[in-house]
Amino acid sequence: EWFASYRDLMSFSRLEKGKISLGKQHFSLLTKQLKGTAGSFKRGLLDLANAKIQSEPVPEEISANLRNYQVEGYSWLYRLSKNQFGGCLADDMGLGKTVQAIVFLASEKERKPEAKTLIVCPTSLVVNWSQEINRFAPDLRVAVIRGAAEERAEQLVDLKDKDVLVTSYAT
């Protein structure tokens, strides 16, 4: 019984310098083993577990009326970042993942003003991303990186005042 409860945890962990290390992508394996455990990692897990209950405030500069599920998606992204976890926002097409991501980028800008974001998307969506950022988060400064090598070189000269860089997979 004991082995069964720890089998997955041991399968995905590794021993490094006398300590057991587990990748963040496997944090859910710890849920059963955290009973009675204190610490920031457990608080981070609990924070993520309560994401459906608590909504994070949407940055004031956002000019969009978000649906409840969009606020929930943004709050989930926010908590992942706050707790230094990675994740993927995925649902059916047309439900507003772009605006949720833009709201998240605006909140990251508030928390980390010096941070830069790189968006890599299909060529057909490069202009759309730029337009949507300008529409929903006009305080975010966007640079589109595309075109021939000479054009891209010019576009890359001075990016220190930009918050978001948008480019294509091909570029």
pLDDT: is 48 or 144 the higher one? 144
| pLDDT given at position 143 | 96
The answer to whether the beta carbons of residues 165 and 143 sit under 8 Å apart is yes
pLDDT: is 72 or 25 the higher one? 72
| pLDDT given at position 38 | 56
- Binned at pLDDT 50, 70 and 90, residue 88 comes out as confident
pLDDT, tens only, 160-171: 899 999 999 988
3 state SS for 71-112: HHHHHHHHHHHHCCCCCCCCCCCCCCHHHHHHHHHHHHHHHC
- Binned at pLDDT 50, 70 and 90, residue 100 comes out as very high
- Please tell me the distance from the alpha carbon of residue 83 to that of residue 38, in angstroms, as a whole number: 15
Q: Tell me the C-alpha to C-alpha distance, in Å, between residue 57 and each of 94, 95, 101, 107, 134.
A: 23, 20, 14, 9, 20
| pLDDT given at position 85 | 75
pLDDT, tens only, 20-66: 777 777 767 766 566 555 566 666 666 666 655 578 889 999 999 99
22-50 exposure pattern, b = at least 16 Cβ within 10 A, e = fewer: eeeeebebeeeeeeeeeeebeebbebbee
Alpha carbon 7 to its chain's center: 30
Residue positions counted in the chain: 171
- Please tell me the distance from the alpha carbon of residue 57 to that of residue 16, in angstroms, as a whole number: 39
Q: 131 pLDDT exceeds 90?
A: yes
